[in-house]
């Protein structure tokens, strides 16, 4: 199936997708900073949050980009490209997780669909 958009239009659409400061990350930011986490440190694997004292890294993974087992839907267009891209992301996620764990860190991976807040601002995931 061919793309319904021109290459230029598709490029514009894709450029609007953020890899930083996503809504789910920002929902967690205030809550976790109060607990000693640093938001988006420039560390190996680019974790979304890190707490050096407790040796904890947190990744907030988008369902499409990281192949969520519940919500991932294979793209209908350019299937070979996306299959390779998404599988590489998932492989890299496992490699990064293993690397941190072997170094004595606790790794928490949260799917974006898991982030919910109660009225009293307690995090549930």
Segments forming the whole domain that contains residue 14: 7-124
Assigned domain for 2 exists: no
Asked if 87 and 67 touch (Cβ cutoff 8 Å), the reply is yes
- The CATH number for 56's domain is 3.40.960.10
d(CA 21, CA 7): 26
Residue 57 lies in a domain: yes
pLDDT tens for 40-54 read 999 999 999 999 999
Residue 1 lies in a domain: no
Separation of alpha carbons 116 and 119, rounded Å = 10
Asked whether the whole model's pTM tops 0.85, one would answer no
Evaluate if residue 19 carries a pLDDT over 50: yes
What residues form DSSP beta bridges with 49? 39, 58
Q: Please give the pLDDT value at position 76.
A: 82
| Mean pLDDT computed over 71-89 | 88
Structural domains counted in the chain: 1
Q: Which residue has the tokens 């953020």?
A: 18
Residue 102 lies in a domain: yes
- Residue 44 covered by a domain: yes
Q: Is residue 13 part of a domain?
A: yes
Q: Is residue 38 part of a domain?
A: yes
């Amino acid at each position: 199936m061919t793309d319904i958009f021109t290459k230029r239009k598709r490029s514009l659409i894709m450029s609007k997708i953020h890899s930083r400061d996503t809504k789910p990350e920002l929902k967690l930011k205030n809550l976790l900073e109060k607990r000693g986490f640093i938001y988006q440190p420039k560390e190996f694997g680019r974790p979304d949050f890190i707490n050096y004292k407790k040796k904890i890294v947190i990744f907030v993974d988008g369902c499409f980009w990281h192949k969520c087992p519940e919500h991932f839907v294979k793209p209908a267009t350019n299937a070979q490209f996306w299959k390779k891209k998404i599988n590489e992301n998932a492989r890299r996620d496992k490699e990064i997780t293993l690397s941190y764990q072997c170094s004595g860190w606790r790794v928490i991976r949260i799917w974006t669909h898991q982030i919910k807040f109660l009225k009293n601002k307690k995090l549930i995931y």
